[in-house]
């Protein structure tokens, strides 16, 4: 007999099942069209060798404590210094993952008198950080610069005395489109505000040398940029770049930084090698660009839909169960594609999120699209 205390959880799960929204873990299977390993560095011999070399020279597996206690290893500090130089910012802080970094950022830096104006499609981790913030917050329609301006103006007219924080992703993880960063940076400047840019899906693959779409902006005192290390860089963790004063404030006030065991020093060593790989092997980015362009053109030709232009290719299905069936069918045919459903995306916009990485080639893309075209026709709502 199920304990009464568990019944409410079972009911919730059953409700999710009826709506086609219940999640379950699925193993890796088939050709990779779902990971964020854009430059195929996760299995890179260079990164493996870097970790082996770090172990050989005595770098520990675990940090042993938080950064403010004994967990502050020279590998962390070397990575932060090298990343600050690479991205052109005064300082970076290394976090265990992008989620922790976003929650720490938004729950700590905006103050009670401030306002956070964020794009409606910003990542869930940013939403969670904003929820924990003492600042007022308002969501605005996706990529609508006028709506950002109107929200700030309305706040000021209503007596807002602090500073506005504008929060966006440079490349959106579910739609694959870009934010108008130059216009938003100008808006932040006009209103004595700060612009937070999440570069998770652009770091390593876009911008000069892989510095992201914010490369021309990063380093300004009112620009805060998050670069994650578990996507194109092939490792894990996140680097938050900002004015040194803001970084020092996070060290002193961000609970997610203060009270977390520091990331493994071996992870920091691997990320350092990933940056060296970006510099030494520009052919990876060139091959990625070529494959990305091919995939976008092939998708538009096969399905007659407008492609994103990026490595993230959403195929809108709409119906939750149908999206799940099509994804399962493709995995059965050895193409690892996953269905994305509410609440990750808006109601009625269930989709297949196809990711293009150097783990595939043109022939795999073409074959996958042919199978997808057939599955969409045959798997009716």
Q: pLDDT tens digit string along 252-295? A: 999 999 999 999 999 999 999 999 999 999 999 999 999 999 99
| Whether residue 173 lies in the annotated active site | yes
User: What percent of the chain stands above pLDDT 70?
Assistant: 100
Assign 3-state DSSP to the chain and report helix, strand, coil percentages, each to 5: 45, 15, 40
Residue 100 is classified by DSSP as H
Q: What are phi and psi of 112, to 5 degrees?
A: -55, -35
Catalytic entry in 32, 80, 175, 198: 198
| Strands laid side by side in the 312-318 sheet | 312-318, 350-355, 338-340
Torsion sign, CA atoms 179, 180, 186, 191? negative
Identify the pLDDT of residue 1: 59
Q: What is the CATH number of domain 29-40+282-378?
A: 3.90.1150.10
Residue 198 annotated to the active site? yes
**Residue 171 CB partners (closer than 8 Å, separation 6+):** 177, 178, 179, 199, 200, 201, 202, 206, 213, 310, 312
Backbone angles phi, psi at 161, to 5 degrees: -110, -15
Indicate if 231 belongs to the active site: yes
> 25 falls in which pLDDT band (50, 70, 90)?
confident
Percentage of the chain exceeding pLDDT 90: 93
- Locate 97 and state its tokens: 């993952």
pLDDT score, position 170: 98
Catalytic residue among 73, 76, 123, 127: 123
Cα–Cα distance measured from residue 7 to residue 311, given in angstroms and rounded to the nearest whole number: 42
Which of 37, 114, 169, 218 is catalytic? The answer is 169
In angstroms, the first-to-last Cα distance of the chain is: 37
> What distance in Å separates the CA atoms of residue 4 and residue 147, rounded to the nearest whole number?
48
Specify the pLDDT at position 28. 85
CATH 3.90.1150.10 residue ranges of the chain are 29-40+282-378
> Phi and psi for 296 in degrees, rounded to 5?
-65, -45
DSSP 297-352: HHHHHHH-----SSSEEEEEEE-HHHHHHHHHHHHHTTEE-EEE-TTTS-TT-EEE
**Active-site annotation holder among 102, 107, 133, 173:** 173
Q: How many CB atoms lie within 10 A of CB 276?
A: 14
Average pLDDT, the chain: 96
Q: Specify the pLDDT at position 240.
A: 98
What pLDDT digit, counting tens, does each position of 210-232 carry?
A: 999 999 999 999 999 999 999 99
CB 275 within 8 A of CB 83: yes
138-156: average pLDDT: 98
Is 19 catalytic? The answer is no
- Looking at residue 360, what is its pLDDT? 98
> What confidence score (pLDDT) does residue 33 get?
97
The mean per-residue pLDDT over the stretch 177-197 comes to 98
Instruction: With beta carbons less than 8 A apart as the criterion, state whether 199 and 170 touch.
Output: yes
Catalytic residue flag (residue 169)? yes
List, for residues 31-68, the tens digit of each pLDDT value.
Answer: 999 999 999 999 999 999 999 999 999 999 999 999 99
Fold of 59-279: 3.40.640
From residue 282, alpha-carbon distances to 16, 251, 294, 310 in Å are 45, 34, 19, 18
CATH 3.40.640.10 region(s) of the chain? 59-279
CA distance 200 to 232: 9
SS3 label, residue 63: coil
The arithmetic mean of pLDDT across residues 338-349, rounded, is 92
Note the pLDDT tens digit of each residue in 93-119: 999 999 999 999 999 999 999 999 999
DSSP lists the bridge partners of residue 338 as: 353
> Which band of pLDDT confidence, cut at 50, 70 and 90, is reported for residue 27?
confident
CA gap 208, 345 in Å, rounded:
31
Query: Which residue among 32, 36, 143, 264 is the active-site one?
Result: 36
d(CA 347, CA 106): 26
Instruction: Give yes or no for residue 5 having a pLDDT over 90.
Output: no
Query: Are the C-beta atoms of residues 331 and 34 closer than 8 Å to each other?
Result: no
Of 286, 210, 200, nearest to 237 (Cα)?
A: 200
Residue 123 is among the residues annotated as catalytic for this protein: yes
Tell me if residue 144 is catalytic.
no
Residue 29 has pLDDT above 90, yes or no: no
Catalytic position from the list 119, 231, 296, 307: 231
137 — pLDDT class (breaks 50, 70, 90)? very high
248 compared with 21, residue with greater pLDDT = 248
């Amino acid at each position: 007999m199920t304990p009464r205390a568990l019944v409410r959880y079972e009911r919730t799960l059953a409700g999710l099942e009826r709506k086609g929204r219940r999640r379950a873990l699925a193993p890796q299977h088939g050709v990779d069209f779902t990971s964020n390993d854009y430059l195929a560095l996760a299995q890179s011999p260079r990164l493996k060798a870097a970790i082996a070399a770090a172990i050989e020279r005595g770098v520990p597996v675990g940090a042993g404590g938080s950064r403010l206690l004994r967990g502050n290893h020279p590998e962390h500090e070397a990575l932060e210094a090298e990343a600050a130089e690479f991205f052109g910012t005064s300082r970076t802080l290394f976090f265990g993952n992008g989620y922790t970094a976003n929650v720490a950022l938004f729950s700590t830096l905006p103050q009670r008198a401030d306002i956070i104006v964020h794009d409606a499609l910003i990542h869930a981790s940013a939403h969670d950080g904003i929820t924990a913030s003492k600042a007022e917050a308002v969501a605005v329609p996706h990529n609508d610069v006028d709506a950002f301006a109107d929200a700030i103006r309305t706040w000021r007219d209503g007596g807002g005395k602090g500073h506005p924080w504008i929060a966006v992703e440079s490349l959106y993880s579910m739609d694959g489109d870009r934010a108008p960063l130059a216009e938003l940076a100008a808006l932040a400047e006009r209103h004595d505000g700060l612009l937070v840019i999440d570069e998770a899906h652009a770091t390593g693959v876009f911008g000069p040398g892989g510095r992201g779409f914010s490369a021309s902006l990063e380093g300004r005192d009112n620009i805060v940029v998050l670069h994650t290390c578990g996507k194109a860089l092939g490792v894990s963790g996140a680097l938050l770049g900002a004015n040194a004063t803001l970084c020092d404030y996070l060290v002193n006030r961000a609970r997610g930084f203060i009270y977390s065991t520091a990331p493994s020093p071996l992870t920091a060593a691997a990320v350092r090698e990933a940056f060296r790989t970006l510099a030494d092997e520009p052919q990876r980015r060139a091959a990625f660009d070529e494959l990305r362009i091919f995939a976008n053109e092939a998708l538009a030709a096969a399905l007659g839909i407008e492609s994103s232009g990026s490595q993230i290719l959403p195929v809108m299905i709409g119906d939750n169960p149908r999206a799940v069936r099509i994804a399962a069918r493709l995995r059965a045919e050895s193409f690892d594609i996953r269905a994305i459903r509410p609440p990750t995306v808006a109601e009625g916009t269930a989709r297949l999120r196809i990711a293009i990485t150097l783990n595939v080639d043109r022939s795999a893309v073409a074959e996958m699209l042919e199978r997808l075209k057939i599955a969409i026709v045959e798997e009716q709502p």
